[in-house]
Structure formats: structure tokens, C-alpha cells
Amino acid sequence: MRRQPDDAGTRRYFLGLALGAFATTISGPALAARRALPKRTLALNSLHTGESANLVYWADGKYLRDPMKRLAWILRDHRTNEIHPIDPRLFDLLSGLRGRLDASQPFQVVSGYRSPATNALLAKMTDGVAEHSLHMQGWAIDIRVPSRKLSSVREAAMSLKSGGVGYYPRSNFVHVDVGRIRHWTA
């Protein structure tokens, strides 16, 4: 003899189906919106090593591990080959700067990560190298954009209000970092 489902069991079954359908209905658009987030790309060319990359480093709401490693490699201390994690906010700043400049060419990297030894050496050799440089934390980069005037790169970086902006016209680069908002000319 087959047992007939009781009313409570039937109600629970249909309630479960209804809740599942409701969850799919409300999460479907949220998942679609997450997938619709624009990807973040970055193109870099290291002037000291000749290495370059043009890659997506952020997609589907998260930073991508392998591209982040590749970018850290390109931004390594070229004097010692030391690699240091680069703050993802620096990549976001560069991505925003690229958009603000409407530039398609890669950023030319003058200096990315600096080991403490390299930073100390540079501080002895030249003025303008901070003893506690944000380059040593992976928070700073010195760049140029071949198709843009240096002053335009500086202005665009300052308009982002994302950190420090140093203008080095005699050395032909702009320093950007994700430290506190400030600016200077050297």
C-alpha cells in the first residue's frame, strides 16, 4: 500500500520549489551584473629590461592571480631581480590614468619596485629619492606615456586624486603612488 503525502509534506515541497525559483530570480540578475563588470587591463613596458605585458588583471569582480604575478615580475627591481607584491590599487590607478589619458600605448616604466638596497644606492647618487620611498612597498611607479606630453600625464594623474603625483620634467617621468594625496615638482 502506497502512502499518500500528507498536506504538510506537500506544502513543504512546493514551498521549497517556490523559494528556489525566487532565489534564482533575484540572484540571476545579480550574477549577470557581476559578469557584466568591465574587465581591467594594463599595458606596461619596462625600459630597463625590455619586457612588456598587455593583459587583463581584474575580471568578474576579482584580481587575477597569474596576471598580478606577471605585472609584479615586470615591475621587479631590475638591479637585483627582487620581486615584491605590488598593491592592486596601483594597477587600478594606472588603469584609470590610461582611461583618463585615452592612451592605447603601454606605460613606459622607469621604476617600479625598489629593494631597500637599491633605494639607498639611488638616494646616495641623486636628489629626490625618499629614504622611505613607497617604491619599496610596491605602492609607487615612475612612468611616461609616449603619445602624451609629460605635463598632461601629471594633470591627468592629479585629477584622479588617488595618491601622490611627482613631476620630474628634467628626468622625463611622472611618479604616481597610492599613498596620501599630495603633489610635487622636482
Please tell me the pTM assigned to this model.
0.79
Number of domains in the chain: 2
Q: Answer yes or no: do 174 and 90 share one domain.
A: yes
Residue 95's alpha-carbon distances to 39, 102, 163, in angstroms, are: 10, 10, 14
Q: Answer yes or no: do 74 and 143 share one domain.
A: yes
Cα–Cα distance, 7 to 20 (Å, whole number): 20
Cα–Cα distance, 24 to 102 (Å, whole number): 39
Q: Answer yes or no: do 118 and 174 share one domain.
A: yes
Query: How far does CA 17 lie from the centroid of its chain?
Result: 43
Q: Which residue, among 176, 183, 185, 181, has the nearest Cα to 94 in the 3D structure?
A: 176
* pLDDT tens figures, 58-98: 999 999 999 999 999 999 999 999 999 999 999 999 999 99
Q: Answer yes or no: do 83 and 132 share one domain.
A: yes
Q: Which residue, among 134, 144, 151, 166, has the nearest Cα to 46 in the 3D structure?
A: 144
Q: Answer yes or no: do 44 and 22 share one domain.
A: no
* pLDDT tens figures, 112-149: 999 999 999 998 888 778 888 999 999 999 999 999 99
- DSSP conformation letters of the chain: -PPPPPHHHHHHHHHHHHHHHHHHHHHHHHHHHHHTSPPEEEEEEETTT--EEEEEEEETTEE-HHHHHHHHHHTS-TTT----PPPHHHHHHHHHHHHHHT--SPEEEEE----HHHHHHHHHHSTT--TT-GGGGT-EEEEE-TTS-HHHHHHHHHHHTSSEEEEETTTTEEEEESSSSEEEE-
Q: Answer yes or no: do 105 and 64 share one domain.
A: yes
Q: Answer yes or no: do 81 and 143 share one domain.
A: yes
Q: Label residue 26 by pLDDT band (50, 70, 90).
A: low
What's the confidence (pLDDT) of residue 57? 98
CATH number for 85? 3.30.1380.10
Q: Answer yes or no: do 18 and 47 share one domain.
A: no
What's the confidence (pLDDT) of residue 139? 98
Phi, psi of 70 (to 5 degrees): -60, -45
Query: Percent of the chain, pLDDT > 70?
Result: 81
Q: Answer yes or no: do 134 and 108 share one domain.
A: yes
In this structure, the chain runs to a length of: 186
Pair 174, 100: CB distance under 8 Å: no
Residue numbers of the domain that contains 12 = 1-36
Q: Answer yes or no: do 2 and 92 share one domain.
A: no
State the cell numbers at 65. Answer: 592571480
Q: Answer yes or no: do 12 and 88 share one domain.
A: no
Q: Answer yes or no: do 57 and 20 share one domain.
A: no
For the ranges 13-17, 43-47, 64-68, the lowest mean pLDDT is seen at: 13-17
Per-chain mean pLDDT for the chain: 88
